Structure 1
Amino acid sequence: METRRESSAQLVKALSAAAHELSAPSSSQDQVLALIVSGAVHTVPGAEHAGVSLLAANGVITSQAPSSDLVRRLDELQSTYREGPCIAALREQHTVLVDNLAIEAQRWPNFAPAGMACGAVSMLCFQLFASDDSLGALALYSSRVGAFDDESLTLGELFASHAALALGRAQQMEQLHQALATRDVIGQAKGILMERFSIDAIAAFAMLVHSSQDTNMRVADVARWLAAEPRPHADR
């Protein structure tokens, strides 16, 4: 039987591997999520399946890097019924432990029987982050009653805390890359307008803003359309 020391060693190893992977400039949010899920399944005692559940402002839950179809199905059920352990972790509590879903019918009258029918019995959900437009949770599942113990909670919380920081970093990096890409395409569009109409950079940007307002499109989208438009050939 695995000892606490061995489990802790696994956690340290998993977190070290994740940190090393996340330090790579090419790491994307999808890679971060995959590391979170894989590390959780192999580190937290009792975990058989895992996934990151994202709750949008409209109430829809989406599965990110689910370890199995079971995780995706459970997220779909919680999204449909607007109830379940992940939603509770996201909206009400930071951590939700379910020892036996069969006795949770009063708490979640729709999700509990549907989740049991899918094969889920024990669940452990940790809130990862909360922002203005989305919430995130790390969800662990098992087919056994009482699969998660105090050690699962302790290690799971440590892993979730590290995962939240890593995921936040990945989101910041993606936003930075998007901002740089937007700046580049706007600069390209300004150059096209400057050449075509013999105007300076300020006037070119003003044209982009004016076009954005007239078409109800974002400036970046107007710039992308302009950059993708075939350039007219100069008269010879």
Structure 2
Amino acid sequence: MPDDEERVGAELARTLEDAARRLLERGPGDEEGVQHTLGLIVQGAIRTVPHVDQAGISLVRRGGKVEAHVPSSEVVRDLDVLQNELREGPCLDSIWYEQRTLIDDMGAADRWPRYSAAARDRGVGSLMSFQLFASTGSAGALNLYAARPHVFDEGSADIGALFASQAALALHGAQRIEGLHTALSSRDVIGQAKGILMERFGVGQSRAFEMLVASSQNTNLKLVDVAIWLADEKEKGASRG
């Protein structure tokens, strides 16, 4: 109905605006920016998409392992873990193959027999899953659950897809900002380590950096980890002195 569509649209707009505002308000020292944004997405989906009772986000990490993030319940977390074990499920298909997956009756879903049975046993009647993003080195899905079967239709899926597309943009922004903060922090600590070596060995910046690189290669540690260790050792020495 038009009134319902207007209400859902207004709620969706408010939710996304809130996510964007909180993202922008996040300070440089807030290391939970991505997780916080994921939490806003899940809460917003439950509030906004009709008939959704539970929600969660699946993200793929290195090695292809799927991890559950900010699940609204242990059931949602368990189902992500189960998909890893069974290597089947609608969330995995949404991540790798499809932009959206809609199951209006989990009892009749024979595409993933073991997963479907487990989901039914945990009180899931319907499910929608939407691809959040799929680019080199990253993939994810927004997963929405309902206790009753036959409550999701194409209208629900369209709203869920719209929400997921905007959520993907918010998540990408949060990851980008966190990456910038990490890069800045790494640059600062590497500069600090170079200064320590320059003072200790009486060398210039280029030579100090070469020493850091050589130490990184010899210890099989990342350059920034070597720099952090050196800065920590300097601080410990100062406190002991």
TM range (shorter): over 0.9
Counterpart of 1:42 in structure 2 is 47
Higher mean C-alpha deviation, range 185-194 or range 56-65: 56-65
Match of residue 127, structure 2, among 117, 123, 137: 123
Matched, 1:140 2:140: no
2:105 is equivalent to residue 100 of structure 1: yes
Aligned residue number for residue 78 of structure 1: 83
Kept in 1, the 8 Å contact 2:89–2:115? The answer is yes
Matches within 5 A, 1:124-203: 124-203=128-207
Q: Output the TM-score relative to the length of structure 1.
A: 0.93
What letter matches 2:145 in structure 1? Y
Alignment RMSD: 1.6
Q: How many angstroms does 1:30 deviate by?
A: 0.9
The equivalent residue for 1:207 is: 211
State the Cα distance separating 1:70 from its structure 2 match: 1.3
Contact in 2 for aligned 1:51/1:63 (Cα 8 Å): yes
- Cα deviation per residue 1:161-198 (whole Å; 9 max; x = unaligned)? 11000100110111101100110110010010011011
The alpha carbon displacement at 1:132 in A equals: 2.7
Q: Is the 8 A contact 1:63 1:75 kept in 2?
A: yes
* Aligned equivalents of 2:15, 2:234: Cα separation in 1: 50
| Kept in 2: contact 1:59–1:79 (CA 8 A) | no
| Deviation for aligned residue 1:57 | 4.1
What is the count of residue pairs matched by the alignment?
232
Counterpart-to-counterpart distance in 1, 2:156 and 2:120: 21
CA–CA distance in structure 2, aligned partners of residues 17 and 167 of structure 1: 13
Q: CA deviation at 1:230?
A: 4.0
How far is 1:59 from its partner? 3.1
Select which of 26, 29, 35 maps to 1:30: 35
CA offset at residue 133 of structure 1?
2.8
Determine the structure 1 residue equivalent to 2:20. 19
* Mapped partners of 1:182, 1:16: distance in 2: 31
What is the letter of the counterpart of residue 105 of structure 2? N
Q: d(CA) in 1 for partners of 2:230 and 2:91? A: 43
Establish whether residue 229 from structure 1 lines up as the match of residue 230 from structure 2. Answer: no
Q: Quote how far apart the aligned CAs of 1:63 are.
A: 1.1
2:61 & 2:213 partners in 1: Cα distance? 30
Question: Offset at 1:143?
Answer: 0.9
Q: Which runs of 5+ in 1 are unaligned?
A: none
**TM-score, normalization: structure 2?**
0.91
Q: Is the 8 A contact 2:96 2:134 kept in 1?
A: no
Task: Name the % identity.
Answer: 47
**Cα-to-partner distance string for 1:85-117 (whole Å, 9 max, x where unaligned):** 100101110100001111123x11221111111
The whole-number CA distance in structure 2 between the counterparts of 1:12 and 1:125 is 21
Q: Which runs of 5+ in 2 are unaligned?
A: none
Amino acid at match of 1:22: L
